[in-house]
Amino acid sequence: MISATARKKIENVITRYPEEEKRSALLPALHIVQNDNQGHLTEEMMKEVADLLEITPLQVYEVATFYTMYNLKPIGKYHIQVCRTLPCALMGAEKLVAYLEEKLGIGLGETTSDRLFTLTEVECLASCGTAPMMQINQNYYENLNKSKVDQILEELKQKATS
C-alpha cells in the first residue's frame, strides 16, 4: 500500500499540471512510490497510483515497463548501476564491472544474499568525462579505481549496519 507520506507528495505533484491532465504526474508519482518502497514498485501500488491519477492500471503498467528506472521486483538496499556505454567502456567500465562482481560475489542483475547490493549495467549516465563511473541509488561516483570502490562499498556496508 502507498504510504500516507507518498500519497501526500503525489497529491502535491498533481497540482503542477492542468486539472484535466493529472496523468502528467505519472512519472514523478512512480518515482515517489518507488523511493518510498525500498526501490521497487508492486502491482498493488501501481493500481493505487492509477486511482490517484484517474487513469487505468494498464496505463500505469505500460509506463512502468517502458522506463528503465522503475524496478518491478525487489532490489538491494543499494542499487549499483555501472555505465557501460562507449566513453566509460574506453576507460575501463568492463574492468569495473568485473571487479564489482568479484567483490560482491554476484553477477549482473543479481542481489547479494544479505540484500544489501544489486548490481546492474546501464546505458550512458552523462558522466563521460569522469569515466569510469557508477551510480548508487541517487549518488554518482566518478573517476573510479579499485581503492575508491573498496572505500565506497565499505562505507555503505557500515552505514547499513550502524
Residues near other proteins (CB under 8 A) are 16, 18, 21, 23-28, 30-31, 53, 55, 59, 62-63, 66-70, 84-87, 89-96, 99, 122-132, 135, 138-140, 144-146
- Spatial CA neighbour of 54 closest among 27, 76, 82, 26: 26
**146 versus 159: smaller Cβ distance to other proteins:** 146
Distance, first Cα to last Cα, the chain: 28
- Cα torsion angle, 58, 10, 116, 93, sign: positive
- Residue 139 Cβ vs other proteins, minimum distance, rounded to whole Å: 8
- Spatial CA neighbour of 23 closest among 41, 39, 6, 10: 10
Q: Which residues pair with 143 in a beta bridge?
A: none
- Residue 162 Cβ vs other proteins, minimum distance, rounded to whole Å: 23
- Residue 105 Cβ vs other proteins, minimum distance, rounded to whole Å: 19
- Residue 114 Cβ vs other proteins, minimum distance, rounded to whole Å: 25
**62 versus 114: smaller Cβ distance to other proteins:** 62
